[in-house]
Amino acid sequence: RSGWLNVKRQHSDERGAALLTVLLLVAVLAVLAAHGIDRLMAATRLASNARDLGQARAYLVAAENIALHSAGDIVGASPGRTTNAAGWNGREVRYPVTGGSIAASLSDGGNCFNLNSVVLQEQAVFFPRPIGQRQFVALLTMLQIPPADAETISASLTDWIDSDDQPEPYGAEDAHYLAREDPYRTASGPVTEISELRAIKGVSEVHYTRLKPWVCALPTSDLSPINVNTLRAEQGVLLAMLAGEAGNISAARTFLAQRPQSGYSSVNAFWTLPYLAAMKVPPEVQEQIQMNTRWFALNVSVTVGGAQAQESGLIDAQLTPARLVRRQWGDGW
C-alpha cells in the first residue's frame, strides 16, 4: 500500500510541475506579446511621424514658392522704391492645411548689420574694412555692450573672416583658438550663419542674445544695405549706427516715425534732410542707403499632425525671377 501511495504522490507532483511549466510558458508568451505590441505601436508612431514630417517639408517648399512670387510682386509693385505698403514687412500670415497649418512671414532681409561688411573682398581675398568695423562697434555700444568688449568683438570678427594670419588689435587669429581646450580654426572666409558669432573671441551668451535680432550674414561683403523706406521706427538703432559714436537712437526713431507714407524717392534727396545732413557721414556711407529691397528674409513654421518643421531662408529679389539663395531647416516633435 505504501508503494501505491508513493506512485500516486509522484503522479500528483508531476501534474503540478506540468501545470507550473504551462503557467510559466503563458507568462513568457504574454511578456513577449506585450513587447511585440509595444514595438509595433512604436513602429506605427515612427511611420506616422515620418509621414507627417515629410508632408510638413513639402508644405515648406510650397511656402518657399509663394514667398518667391510675393517678393517679386513687392519689388515689381514700385520699381526702384520698396516701401511697407500693405504691411507686408514682418507680418505673419497663416494658411490652414490638411491636418495642420502654415505660418510664414517676409521681412526686409537687408535691414540689419551685415557681419561680412567688416571686410572688403577683392576677388578671393578678404581685407579688413575700417568703416564696416566702426559701424559694428557703434552698433555694439548702442546695444549696451561695453566699449572694450565691442572693440574686441569687431576686431575678432574681422580676423575670423580675413585672409591673413595677423591679428587685429584686440582681435584673434588661429593661434588664439588653437590654444583652447576644444581647439578650432578661424573660418578665413565669409560668415554664412549668425550663430558663428558664438565661436568668436569676446562674444558671450549675453552679447550674442543682444546682437541676434540686429545682425545678418548676407552673401556679400557690401556695407549693410539699409532701406530707409522699409526700416521701421523700432529699428532706429540701425540708422543711428551710420553716424558712428555720435549716433542717437531716439532721434533716429523719431525721424523714421515721420517718414512719408510713400517713402523717399532718391538717396540724394534723403541725405539733404536736416537730421541726416547733421550726421556728416562720408560718401561711402551715404551710398549704402537704399530706396529698394534686394534681400528678403523668409521664416516659415509648419505643423502637421505630430510633426513641426521650421525654415529660415534668404531671397535675392534682384534676380529675375527672385531666387532662394540660402535655406536652413530645423525640425522638432
pTM for this entry: 0.83
The pLDDT value recorded for residue 53 is 78
Most trustworthy range by pLDDT among 94-108, 131-145, 252-266 = 131-145
Find the angle CA(283)-CA(285)-CA(289) to the nearest 5 degrees. Answer: 110
Q: Is the pLDDT of residue 68 over 90?
A: yes
The three cell numbers of residue 130 are 575700417
Spatial neighbors of 15 by CB under 8 A, at least 6 apart, are none
Per-residue pLDDT for 258 more than 80?
Answer: yes
Supply the mean pLDDT for the chain. Answer: 88
**What pLDDT is recorded for position 70?**
95
**84: its cell numbers:** 511697407
CA-to-CA distance for 2 and 164, rounded, in angstroms?
Answer: 105
Confidence of residue 54 (pLDDT cuts 50, 70, 90): confident
What is the per-residue pLDDT across 262-271, written as a single tens digit (0 to 9) for each? 899 899 889 9
50 by Cβ neighbours in 10 Å (0-12 / 13-18 / 19+) ranks as: exposed
Sign for the pseudo-dihedral over CA of 128, 130, 135, 139? positive
Band (pLDDT 50/70/90 cuts) for residue 247 is: confident
CB of 102 closer than 8 Å to CB of 310:
no
Q: What average pLDDT does the segment 164-170 reach? A: 94
Peptide bond preceding 213 in cis form (omega within 30 of 0): no
Residues 19-53: pLDDT tens digits?
Answer: 777 777 777 777 766 666 666 555 555 555 567 77
Nine cell digits for residue 248: 542717437
| Beta-bridge partners for 121 | 126
* pLDDT score, position 87: 92
| Nearest partner of 63 among 281, 309, 227, judged by Cα | 309
Grid cell at residue 321: 525671377
Q: Average pLDDT, stretch 180-203? A: 95
pLDDT digits (tens, 9 = 90+) for 134-163: 999 999 999 999 999 999 999 999 999 999
